[in-house]
Structure 1
């Protein structure tokens, strides 16, 4: 993501703490990403926008051979290093730029949790993911649900403008987009859609935040897709 949209400094620290055990990241989005990841034992995984390493940590517990994590925020990468230790190789890199340091067809799985909507150079990023995935490899992507953005920000459902959402003492910036745009970009790259889910919070979220737990079971907040590189 662009330097101005990465979570730096205090915002990065707030997000690293928040994502550890909150209703949305920890108990709605992350379980869906892990379920769609399937059997990851012995796989080489690319974690794009790895943040503080929460998803990478869970993947390592499931037996992946190696995780390569990329994020634009040194603040979040510092938290990821503390969480993962020697379990992952981490790179600070702007996802708006090509992944030139990664070899062709060198990964079995790529994951991108709640990152895609932050990116402007999405066509370039998808082409790079296609390049570094082996044939038959998989991509997992989660994003904000288009109807959730429409309900919150108003205007046209088909808008694809940049919006800001409060986070801690600041705001996060991302691009909302309709479903046809989100899926169209992914499928237009050549990926095949294997599964789409609108995740609801797990029971653990009820203990953390019963209001947000109930909300995820009434209205769609996130969208998660499982894609395959033919």
Structure 2
């Protein structure tokens, strides 16, 4: 994530542990994004906001040739290194508000940005940078908080674009910017991507015994929005 919004210190450690089994992370967002990824055999993948390495580990398990992870939190990168072991060489500590100057043009087949986009302020520049490092025909997967979920939780106008905070863990808070579906998709299309698929993820059946209440919640009201777009 960005230097300002990354999950630093104890907050990062709490998130790394929670993301392993959380209904929202492990059983809702992650399965949806991995399904959107499709067959990753032999692909070079960029994992932006890689967190504790859960996506990278699964992408490598599914046959990706190489996964490069980028995150603004050293706490999460430590967790990612522990998870990936000898496959963790390609992890970078970097603020996603800044250009990806350390990555070469056209060097990736697929980019993954899971629950990160709404934290970033310089989104237009980041989307342009991702387009630069993707090969022609390469895909970008993006998930974000569902605009309707934010409206239901924070209230006010659905069209509000204020920065909000959400309590997390023991005394921490997550900061991100609200946006409408129109804004979310408009930024992606405006950056030159072509929409291939849009999903509103619900928790998989495996989540039901883990947390029945949250499982049911994801099937009653929207939680996340995820898309697969392509660089022409």
TM (normalized to structure 2)?
A: 0.98
Aligned to 1:18: 18
Aligned to 1:207: 209
Aligned to 2:115: 114
The runs of 5 or more residues in structure 2 that have no matched partner are none
C-alpha separation in 2, matches of 1:23 and 1:34: 15
C-alpha separation in 2, matches of 1:59 and 1:13: 22
Aligned to 1:193: 195
Aligned to 1:69: 69
Q: Deviation digits for residues 120-153 of structure 1, max 9, x if unmatched?
A: 0000000000000000000000000000000000
- Count, aligned residues: 230
Aligned to 2:141: 140
C-alpha separation in 2, matches of 1:14 and 1:127: 32
Aligned to 2:226: 224
Aligned to 1:130: 131
Aligned to 1:162: 163
C-alpha separation in 1, matches of 2:12 and 2:2: 14
Aligned to 2:6: 6
TM superposition shift of 1:157 = 0.3
C-alpha separation in 2, matches of 1:2 and 1:113: 13
TM (normalized to structure 1)?
A: 0.99
Answering whether residue 185 of structure 2 is matched by residue 183 of structure 1, we say: yes
TM superposition shift of 1:112 = 0.3
Q: Give 4+ residue runs of structure 1 displaced > 6 Å after superposition.
A: none
The runs of 5 or more residues in structure 1 that have no matched partner are none
1:44-123 correspondence to structure 2 within 5 Å: 44-88=44-88, 89-123=90-124
SS in 1 for 2:20: coil
TM superposition shift of 1:2 = 3.1
SS in 2 for 1:95: coil
TM superposition shift of 1:208 = 1.0
TM superposition shift of 1:105 = 0.3
Q: RMSD between aligned alpha carbons?
A: 0.6
Aligned to 1:172: 174
C-alpha separation in 1, matches of 2:149 and 2:81: 33
TM superposition shift of 1:115 = 0.3
C-alpha separation in 2, matches of 1:8 and 1:24: 20
TM superposition shift of 1:86 = 2.1
Q: Deviation digits for residues 151-202 of structure 1, max 9, x if unmatched?
A: 0000100111100001102100000100000000000011000000001000
CA contact (8 A) 2:3 2:96 kept: no
